[in-house]
Amino acid sequence: MSEKPTTQQGASAATLGTSEKFSAYFRNHQMVAVESLAKLLATPASSLLTWLVIAIALTLPGALYMAVNNLQQLSGHFEASGQMTVFLAADIREADSNALRLRVASLEQVNKVVYVSPEQALEEFTQYGGISEALSFLDENPLPAVLLVEPPLGIDKEELSVLVAQIQSFKHVDSVQVDMAWVERLLALLALAQRLVAVVGVLLALAIVLVVGNTIRLSIAARTEEIRVIKLVGGTNAYVRRPFLYSGFWYGAIGGILAWLMLGLCWILLQGPVSDIAELYGADFYLQPLPFEPTCWLILSASLLGLIGSWWSVQRHLVAIEP
């Protein structure tokens, strides 16, 4: 009967010992992380230089990603519009034009139809300098009547092709024009730009690993005697490695934050001019900043690259230092 309390007390002591070990382990990591950051801040010139190199290396693929993301939104807007121009026969009567407009408007895949008479088209053309003088030499109006057909938003290419063929088959329709070729070219360029972002990102990621690795190598070389003393008194490689790993983490994390700030500055400087250009072309488009999720990935990736660079450098140079 008297042995049970002793056993429970021993188990409690063992549990407490394990809890204290974990607590001490995390406290040590916290202390090393803070001390590593303090050492970097104690040498602001060299640390800032490394942070700026990392930030610039991350800003380039980040800016390319922002550009591709905004162009995707812009191309999606135009691709979804897909307005068609239906040119009517030159000898069509006004009654036939109205009947054709009503017939096209009754189609399921048509949202809106606007009829432009030859006189209205001529009036619009005369507003352009030089064209009005050329038209004045003609005996009659050469412009045909036109139907501006607006399909629903989000219509795919197959449905649009069927709609074009259906309207083309109507009587008094001369031709149907859908100017989507430039959108397809833009989409092809966007696919190329996405591949370019990936390639540039990988190359600059390798550059960041090398920059952090070289910086940590110099730090190890400057603390060689200190490392020998620590190993002499029983310090393990894991214990010696820890502050260098945290230094690499801080290099990457702060470099990523600086890259995000640079991208934000670029967005602020370019937002106004881009909106002005879009307004001149009659487009409701605003330059979008880097979204929240890619921002988190940017900083997280930078931190991970810093860790990889420091780990690679420590593994190469730390084992060679013996007491």
How is 184-244 classified by DSSP, letter by letter?
A: HHHHHHHHHHHHHHHHHHHHHHHHHHHHHHHHHHHHHHHTHHHHHHHHHTT--HHHHHHHH
Tell me the one-letter amino acid at 103: R
* pTM metric for this prediction: 0.68
34-63 residues labelled b (16+ CB within 10 A) or e (exposed): eebbeebeeeeeebeebbebbbebbbbbbb
Q: Is residue 9 part of a domain?
A: no
Domain with 73 in it: 31-78+184-317
Q: Is residue 97 part of a domain?
A: yes
The pLDDT tens digits for 287-306 are 889 999 999 999 999 999 99
User: What pLDDT is recorded for position 69?
Assistant: 87
For the record, the structure tokens of 199 come out as 């390639």
Domain count, the chain: 2
DSSP string, 45-99: HHHHHHHHHHHHHHHHHHHHHHHHHHHHHHHHHHHHH--EEEEEPTT--HHHHHH
Is 226 in the same domain as 123?
A: no
**Cβ(164)–Cβ(149) under 8 Å?**
no
Alpha helices in 138-178 (DSSP H): 157-168
**Cβ(135)–Cβ(125) under 8 Å?**
yes
What is the distance between the terminal CA atoms of the chain, rounded to a whole angstrom? 55
User: In this structure, what DSSP letter does residue 2 have?
Assistant: -
Name residue, tokens 């820890």.
242
Q: How far apart are CA 247 and CA 34, in angstroms?
A: 10
| Tens-level pLDDT at each residue, the chain (323 residues) | 444 444 444 444 445 467 777 787 788 888 989 999 999 999 999 999 999 999 999 999 999 999 888 887 776 555 545 678 899 988 888 888 899 999 999 998 888 898 988 888 777 776 654 555 666 666 677 778 899 888 876 666 778 888 889 998 998 898 888 766 666 777 788 888 889 999 999 999 999 999 999 999 999 988 888 888 888 888 788 888 899 999 999 999 999 999 999 999 999 999 989 888 877 766 677 888 999 999 999 999 999 999 999 999 998 888 777 76
Percentage of residues of the chain with pLDDT beyond 90: 38
Q: How far apart are CA 196 and CA 190, in angstroms?
A: 9
- Average pLDDT in the chain: 83
Domain boundary among 179, 207, 242: 179
Is 98 in the same domain as 156?
A: yes
Domain boundary among 179, 211, 229: 179
The pLDDT tens digits for 157-212 are 778 888 889 998 998 898 888 766 666 777 788 888 889 999 999 999 999 999 99
